[in-house]
Amino acid sequence: DLPIVITREIRRNRPDSVAWDRAIEPRILFISAEPAGMTVPKKAHIQALREALEPWIRWPRQGGDDKDRLPLIKERLRLLLNPCIDEIYDECATGQYTHVHILAHGAVYEEAGEQRFGLAFCQQDDKYQADIISGKKLAKALQAEFSGSPSRSQPLVVTLSTCDSGNSGSLLIPGGSIAYDLHAEGIPWVFASQFPLTKRGSVKMTKTLYPRLLQGVDPRQVLYEVRRQLFMTAERDHDWASMVVFVSMPKDSSEFHNQVINFFERQMRRAIEVSFDRVDNCNKNDQVADEALDNVKNLLFISSVSYW
């Protein structure tokens, strides 16, 4: 009973596939916007991302608690709250992020007399006023040129936890949805929603998506699991059917399969090293040492299981 996963890819100007097992360690940029009283569940999303990163956040040499780990947490998770589009560009120009998670409201704007869907960020001079940003403008900001370098920011995964981010709108004018535009501009993996997305569904999606992506599970299997989790908790929504993903993969499927294996093994090795570091720095706290060793055992078990 094999899972079936439907993904999308643009027909022309196909973005180059980026290796899934890049040497850079995963770093997440979290962007949320609440202009004009548009509330979003940012605390729940931040908590979900923080928990997903936990196995790979190192412990200080002298031991300590989460407060002492704050500088190490900030190395892996950057929060950008209520930004304008220029602030997003500046942030991407100074840091290399592998994953960008965007939590905002979808909004309608007009182009050539037709309605298109964009994202409601904040205006530069008035954070309370909304600035509707198209997918193409967002792509330019996420692929900013590094300060003092000719190379550019190149996130591997962008997650749009927004309504209608996969909705193409009118077919009378060229272009597509926000997700389509991001993919067309070179983002290899774009997770989006083609219908209105409930707040509860957005949190569920984040909690299911990121622990598996960061662990190194095949992203196609991750998408299947996200849809299944959303379907099981669905009552009067269609979040499970709303999920769409634009992907760019090597034409040789075995090449991508090997990349997934390499990344999974690397992530398991990194997580085991973090747990051993905690044992070394526990200051003779037997309970903490036992918890860390149990975690190592679990990681070794997971790394021995073939999940695809």
**3-class secondary structure, 160:** strand
Q: Is the separation of the CB atoms in 252 and 299 below 8 Å? A: no
> How large a percentage of the chain has pLDDT more than 70?
81
Helix (H) or strand (E) holding 100: strand 99-103
Find all residues with CB under 8 Å of 127, minimum gap 6, and list them. Answer: 35, 82, 84
First-last CA distance in the chain: 12
| Angle, in degrees to the nearest 10, between helices 199-215 and 253-280 | 90
Note the pLDDT of residue 285.
55
Number of other CB atoms surrounding residue 21 within 10 Å? 16
Note the pLDDT of residue 234.
75
φ/ψ (deg, to 5) at 64 = 120, -175
Token look-up 């774009």 returns 190
| Cα dihedral 186/190/193/198 (nearest 10) | -130
CA distance 172 to 175: 9
CA distance 303 to 263: 11
Note the pLDDT of residue 151.
84
Note the pLDDT of residue 158.
95
**Cα angle at 85 between 178 and 133, to 5 degrees?**
35
Question: For the chain, which residues score pLDDT lower than 70?
Answer: 1-2, 11-17, 61-66, 112-114, 164-175, 281-308
Note the pLDDT of residue 307.
44
Note the pLDDT of residue 308.
42
Maximum distance among all Cα pairs of the chain, rounded to whole angstroms = 69
Calculate the alpha carbon distances from 233 to 100, 201, 202, 219, 236 in Å: 26, 9, 12, 21, 10
Q: Is the separation of the CB atoms in 94 and 151 below 8 Å? A: no
| Angle, in degrees to the nearest 10, between helices 135-142 and 85-94 | 30
CA distance 250 to 221: 17
Q: Is the separation of the CB atoms in 137 and 149 below 8 Å? A: no
Q: Is the separation of the CB atoms in 229 and 203 below 8 Å? A: no
